[in-house]
Chains A and B, each alone.
Chain A
Amino acid sequence: MTDTGSPRSSALRRRLSQINPVWVLLVLLIAAIIFMNPRFVEPTGYMNFLKRAAPLAILAAGQVYVIVSGGFDLSVGSLITLVVVGSSMLTNNDPAATYWVIPLMLTMGLGVGAINGLIVCFLRVPSLIATLGMMITLNGLAFLWSGGAPRGYLPDTFRFFGRELIRDVPLVRFIPVSVLVLIVVVGVFAWAMHRTNLGRHIHAIGDNPVAARLAGVPVNRVRITAFMISGLSGAIAGILLGGFAGVSTDVGAGYELQAITAAVLGGAQLLGGKGSVPAAFGGALALTAIFTLLNFLGLPQPVRQVVQGLILIAAVALAMHRRKQTGT
């Protein structure tokens, strides 16, 4: 790289190159959406967008923990299905049951994550296979539990988190409850990842597990925690999705790959050591914006698939190109 500019311009360039490209992408996509549909700037427009993006954004924030620690979590999609199906079986149309079903589902998410972590740490099964096995198992459990034909109702108390709006809020008129959940979850996850020792430990074991262990990081405990956080995010996303959509045995299908895509769009490095929760949140918003845009353009589902594939490859290729240029 030849540096012909003045010190100030090179400093500016350095500042610019530190901006995560996912935010540029997001701004461009939002601008395109507004161009296509000017009503998007009204609260109804962008709040509905955020509401729709919430489950994916929460999942992506959880997935970043596992990706930064050096693994994958493919089990979150079927965990969502199990949460939705299980909640509908357990609540059994009884509104009062919500109060113990939701904590139970969150515990189940943590439990599934803990089992994933234990399998990876103590049975030494690579996480790709461990969580793939978990994905197949949980899908089977969801079918087994519902007998293949889940009942179609969740009580309104359960759907509160996914569906209700808080009205009469100044400035924005209304806020969907799911957006509040999104803000709280992503905020807490971002804080834990970037401001606490846990986050530093997760980065350390993803970057170089041997060095981390020699430096005194409790590698297994940290790795299990990462999987538990991802499991928890799956359970939360499942509760939100149960509120939007009906009960079926394929509500969660495909979410695991979308979550990984969102995290990667946000610059998370597969196989560990680098990644950011806010950027994964941006990645999830960008991915949802792409889908929204393709919807506006009236493109059929197959084209959306092709575009998603191209964007995925292009995003990673661009990230690798930048990494090579900046030498990190």
Chain B
Amino acid sequence: MSIASDTRPTRKGFRFDRWAPLLLLGGAFSIYVAVAIATGQTQYLTFDNLIAILGRSIALGITAIGQTFVILVASIDLSVASLISATAVLASVVMDGSPAMILPAVLAAIALGGIVGLANGLVIIGLKVNPLIATLGMSLIIQGCLSAFVSNFAGEVPSAFQVFAYGEVGPFPFALLFLAALAVLAWGVLRFTKFGSDMYAVGGNEEAARFAGIKTGRIVILSHIICSVCASIAGLYLASRLRSGAPWIGSDGVYDLESIAVVVIGGTILAGGRGGIWGTMAGMLIFSLIDSVFNIAGVDSYAKQVLRGVIIVAAVAFYAINSKRIVA
């Protein structure tokens, strides 16, 4: 009917939008190799160093997996950054150096994530508040409550829990394997479960999904819960990495906007209904490769920020430019 809704080419074969994230990743990787060779710093090309690069973006990766779920249902979550701070502080305060409290702390953090996600979902579905506003408001509320109680590093993470961030299984850091497992799990949910296909349906066309008998509200709320739980896992990871929680670690990492940028660079469209986990993982790799390139090339940190903004836009433009839809 609508002439402007993206007219997909009917022929099978090479589908650009499916391969764009991989092309971008290949591009980023070859730039990385080229810069390392050009500056004569071939020590950066070892396997260990590549693992180290990945290790730096694990929290972003975990958050972005959750963000993928909400963006797929045409929602968005800006509250992840303050939720990360809140769960990191909560976990480290509950543990307070005692290994016996690890399990309660983890459960409390995940429960907090679940509650925040449920609240986000209910406000969006029940009160029909635009997700951007709802989660932005939620972010202000969480950050406000958090800074009312804590103003510095609080609590202490016992060394047994630091295994989450610093432990190694063979050549791989434990956290990296955890991220990979989480990605496989998320991919499985999206690919093989009814919930996954319902999510694509709701994101693609909510009204059609409702007429098809899908309980669209439930799907959106569930995606928000998944997103917030992922963010609280990222908070746990950061608490373990920093050995304590502080109320600014989420906003310092700009995890809200960066996780959205990662998801979008990975080819999941903000309008919902198209994309997937592997794109998000590619987006995360692209981000960390770009950072490493800047480090190797010794780019000034302010210039780095400028280039980063340009790269985010350019990367999204790379595959959006061919779409026929009118964006706003």
> B-contacting residues of A (Cβ < 8 Å)?
69-72, 119-120, 122-130, 132-141, 143-144, 148, 205-206, 209-210, 213, 219, 223, 257, 261, 264, 270-272, 300-310, 312-313, 316-317, 320-321, 324
Closest to B304 in A: A140
A316 touches B130 (CB 8 A): yes
B320 touches A316 (CB 8 A): no
Interface of A is mostly: helix
A306 touches B309 (CB 8 A): no
Chain B hits for A128, CB < 8 A: 260, 270
Query: Within the assembled complex, what's the spacing in Å between the Cα atoms of A248 and B270?
Result: 34
Query: Within the assembled complex, what's the spacing in Å between the Cα atoms of A301 and B145?
Result: 10
Q: Is B323 on the interface with A (CB-CB < 8 A)?
A: yes
The minimal Cβ–Cβ distance linking A51 to chain B, given in whole angstroms, is 25
The minimal Cβ–Cβ distance linking A124 to chain B, given in whole angstroms, is 4
* Cross-interface CB contact of B326 among A129, A209, A317, cutoff 8 Å: A209
B136 touches A148 (CB 8 A): no
Query: Within the assembled complex, what's the spacing in Å between the Cα atoms of A305 and B327?
Result: 32
* Cross-interface CB contact of B144 among A257, A309, A313, cutoff 8 Å: A309
The minimal Cβ–Cβ distance linking B95 to chain A, given in whole angstroms, is 24
B291-309 at interface with A (beta carbon < 8 Å):
300, 302-309
Known: A130-B313, A305-B147. A271 touches B308 (CB 8 A): no
From A130, A136, A138, A141, residue with most partner B Cβ within 10 Å: A136
B326 touches A320 (CB 8 A): no
The minimal Cβ–Cβ distance linking B298 to chain A, given in whole angstroms, is 15
| Mask: chain B, 243-287; 1 = CB below 8 Å from A; 0 = not | 000000000000001001100100001110000000000000000
B304-328 at interface with A (beta carbon < 8 Å):
304-310, 312-313, 316-317, 320-323, 325-328
Query: Within the assembled complex, what's the spacing in Å between the Cα atoms of A261 and B137?
Result: 10
* Cross-interface CB contact of B141 among A205, A223, A309, cutoff 8 Å: A309
Chain B hits for A300, CB < 8 A: 148
Known: A206-B328, A305-B140, A316-B129. A125 touches B2 (CB 8 A): no
Category for how many chain B residues contact A: 35 or more
Query: Within the assembled complex, what's the spacing in Å between the Cα atoms of A210 and B5?
Result: 9
Closest to A70 in B: B328
* Cross-interface CB contact of B137 among A133, A143, A310, cutoff 8 Å: A310
B306 touches A317 (CB 8 A): no
* Cross-interface CB contact of A209 among B128, B316, B328, cutoff 8 Å: B328
A144 touches B145 (CB 8 A): no
Chain B hits for A140, CB < 8 A: 302-309
* Cross-interface CB contact of A132 among B140, B143, B257, B305, cutoff 8 Å: B257
* Cross-interface CB contact of A124 among B261, B303, B320, cutoff 8 Å: B320
Known: A132-B257, A302-B147. A213 touches B326 (CB 8 A): yes
Closest to B317 in A: A123
A123 touches B321 (CB 8 A): yes
Q: Is B234 on the interface with A (CB-CB < 8 A)?
A: no
A133 touches B313 (CB 8 A): yes
Q: Is B115 on the interface with A (CB-CB < 8 A)?
A: no
Known: A137-B309, A144-B302. A210 touches B2 (CB 8 A): yes
